[in-house]
């Protein structure tokens, strides 16, 4: 779908906002600020979904990630009272973290290349949402505009069907990223005294 006029302006604003918040997230000096930047990043992504007329996905993005996961991270981080150690020099850009960043970027580029450049799916506008469906072997019959009573259920069913069939690999990658985030929050929650006790 092509964005023109006001939609294009809002797209570039939201894309720039999301990119800036993502960069601020990975360079945040404290865990609490990082969680707040993550919340802002996810809100920007939800705004992009709204521009694609995917209201259900945008709502799920805000309710699940912003309203659930990020708030839980902030609560746990503030509960265990993580302190920023100002006496030690910053180790944000160590060699290991640079290598990890390169690996993650290569993985993202690989998924982008095989998922978008190869074009296994087509973006088809159907009703108020944009759904990913495989290219049809035969011309599709004309689609009737759904009524207000069945619009939400049909769109939700279509998104769920594609999510667990054609988009299973990106869904599993997102699950792994969420698992990494949970493990990372547990590592950040360990205080110096706890580390000395375990060591």
Q: Which of 75, 53, 72 is nearest to 155 (CA)?
A: 53
Residue 148 DSSP SS3: coil
In this prediction, residue 122 has a pLDDT band, given cuts at 50, 70 and 90, of very low
Helices of type H across 65-150: 71-80, 95-112
Q: What is the C-alpha to C-alpha distance for residues 81 and 76, in angstroms, rounded to an integer?
A: 9
User: What confidence tens digit (pLDDT) does each residue in 171-190 have?
Assistant: 888 888 878 877 877 777 66
pLDDT at 11 (0 to 100): 86
Structure-token pair, residue 141? 């019959």
Looking at the whole model, is its pTM more than 0.85? no
Question: Cα torsion at 83, 86, 87, 90 (round to 10°)?
Answer: 110
pLDDT at residue 130 is higher than 70: no
Distance CA 108, CA 149 (A): 39
CATH number of 6-82+92-137+147-198: 1.20.120
Confidence of residue 17 (pLDDT cuts 50, 70, 90): very high
Give the length of the chain: 199
- For the chain, give every domain's residue range: 6-82+92-137+147-198
């Amino acid at each position: 779908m092509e964005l023109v006029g006001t939609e294009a302006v809002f797209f570039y604003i939201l894309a720039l906002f999301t990119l800036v918040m993502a960069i601020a997230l990975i360079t945040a000096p404290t865990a609490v600020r990082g969680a707040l930047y993550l919340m802002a990043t996810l809100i920007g992504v939800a705004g992009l979904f709204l521009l694609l007329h995917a209201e259900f996905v945008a709502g799920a993005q805000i309710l699940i990630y912003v309203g659930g996961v990020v708030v839980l991270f902030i609560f746990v981080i503030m509960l265990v009272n993580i302190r920023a150690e100002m006496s030690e020099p910053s180790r944000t850009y160590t060699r290991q973290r640079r290598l990890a960043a390169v690996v993650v970027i290569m993985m993202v580029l690989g998924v982008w290349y095989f998922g978008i450049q190869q074009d296994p799916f087509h973006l088809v506008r159907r009703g108020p949402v944009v759904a990913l469906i495989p290219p049809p072997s035969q011309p599709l019959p004309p689609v009737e505009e759904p009524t207000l009573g069945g619009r939400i259920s049909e769109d939700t069913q279509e998104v769920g069907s594609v999510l667990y069939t054609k988009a299973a690999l990106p869904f599993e990658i997102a699950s792994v990223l969420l698992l990494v985030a949970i493990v990372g929050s547990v590592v950040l929650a360990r205080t110096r005294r706890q580390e000395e006790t375990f060591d």
